[in-house]
Amino acid sequence: MPAKVQELILRLTTIYDIAKKTGYSPTTVSKVFNNYPDVREKTRVKILETAKEMGYLPNANARSLTTKRSWTIGILFVEATGAGIRHPYFGAVIESFKKIAVSKGYDLMFISKDVGGLRSSYVEHCKIRGVDGVVVILSSNDDPDFQELLDSGIPCVILDSSPEKAHSVCSDNIEGSLQALRYLHSLGHRSIAHISGGLNTFAGDQRQQGYEQALRELGLTFRKEYITSSDFFSMESGYDAMNGLLALPDPPTAVFAAGDLLALGAIRAVQDRGLNVPGDVSIVGFDDIEMSRYITPALTTIRQHTEQLGSVAAEILTSSIEEQDTAVKSVMLPVELIIRDSCRPVT
């Protein structure tokens, strides 16, 4: 052990110290902190008082060791996309998740494929750390390590996915796509393209399905070249995708993007060509990130209730950890079309 660490060890007071000072046994001290009924009121207050005097703080590691409960929830999101925590959608969801989880006594820890500086699987990481549960955000379904996690028996709640094995919370993506397309259709648009988020994510897949379903519903013809698949939900890929669409001999008059960031990139691409949104192309996004209200043109989009997604996920996960109810819960939250300035009737 390095000298620095050694030196820094501020020996904290333990229940043994309290026991010695009060004259009671460590057992009794422990019972006080765990609200056991078999300790007399007088001794309870005495122990509590000296605990406060001595600045006692429980040692979470010691407690976890015996109780097998770490009061820690792992956060897992796909690192591959590079978007990670930087995507405003995730940030918002994590924040609301955190708020609920913390209020219930849990702390959040990032779970990655490295542990102790070595490569590992998610499950290994979780078991080593002894997390009580895991919240998974934007998983790519095809990751075997992720599947292994679902099978591991560790309580999981997945956002934007819906495996049979684990709890899940997601928005009604298909309905969102329908609403977007119906709206564009109502404005007279008939050539509507889709910037997909990619089929390797649940959300991307669902929204694309919804897009295709809407085409059928509205009697529009499906055109393969009108679906551009961006792998990530990033502005950059939205930008590239839109450029592809604009280069088409017969470009669409409207575009439904599977994410707001994609939409922002797309808008930029339109503008870079000297064209105008919504003048030349109407664009609808998905997510309603905070930013969308403030850009020009303000983005018409499908709002997800991110705060609720996070809090519902937290409720589900914590109760899954604490209750014996084994039924897998699968919640789908409604979405909402937010009309702003990025769409216009065809002329």
Partner DNA sequence: CACCATTTCGAAACCGGTTTCGAAATTAAT
Partner DNA sequence: ATTAATTTCGAAACCGGTTTCGAAATGGTG
For DNA, the binding residues (CB under 7 A) are 1, 11-12, 14-16, 23-28, 30-31, 33-34, 37-43, 56-59, 62-63, 65-67
Closest approach of its own copies to the CB of residue 212, in Å: 28
- Distance of alpha carbon 319 from alpha carbon 317, whole angstroms: 5
Closest approach of DNA to the CB of residue 126, in Å: 14
Tell me: does residue 8 bind its own copies (CB under 8 A).
yes
- Which residue carries 């979405």 as its tokens? 335
Tell me: does residue 60 bind its own copies (CB under 8 A).
yes
Closest approach of DNA to the CB of residue 159, in Å: 31
DSSP-derived secondary structure letter, 222: P
Closest approach of DNA to the CB of residue 15, in Å: 4
Assess contact for 301 and 89: CB atoms under 8 A: no
| Mutual angle of helices 260-272 and 235-246, in 10-degree steps | 50
Considering the complex, state which of residue 104 and residue 223 has its C-beta at the smaller distance from its own copies. 104
Tell me: does residue 327 bind its own copies (CB under 8 A).
no
Indicate which of DNA, its own copies, none lies near residue 38 (CB less than 5 to 8 Å, by partner kind): DNA
Which pairing describes strands 72-77 and 107-110: parallel, antiparallel, or unpaired? parallel
- Distance of alpha carbon 179 from alpha carbon 225, whole angstroms: 22
Tell me: does residue 119 bind its own copies (CB under 8 A).
no
Considering the complex, state which of residue 10 and residue 327 has its C-beta at the smaller distance from DNA. 10
Tell me: does residue 181 bind its own copies (CB under 8 A).
no
End-to-end CA distance of the chain: 74
The alpha carbon torsion through 260, 265, 267, 270 (nearest 10 deg) reads -150
Considering the complex, state which of residue 24 and residue 202 has its C-beta at the smaller distance from DNA. 24
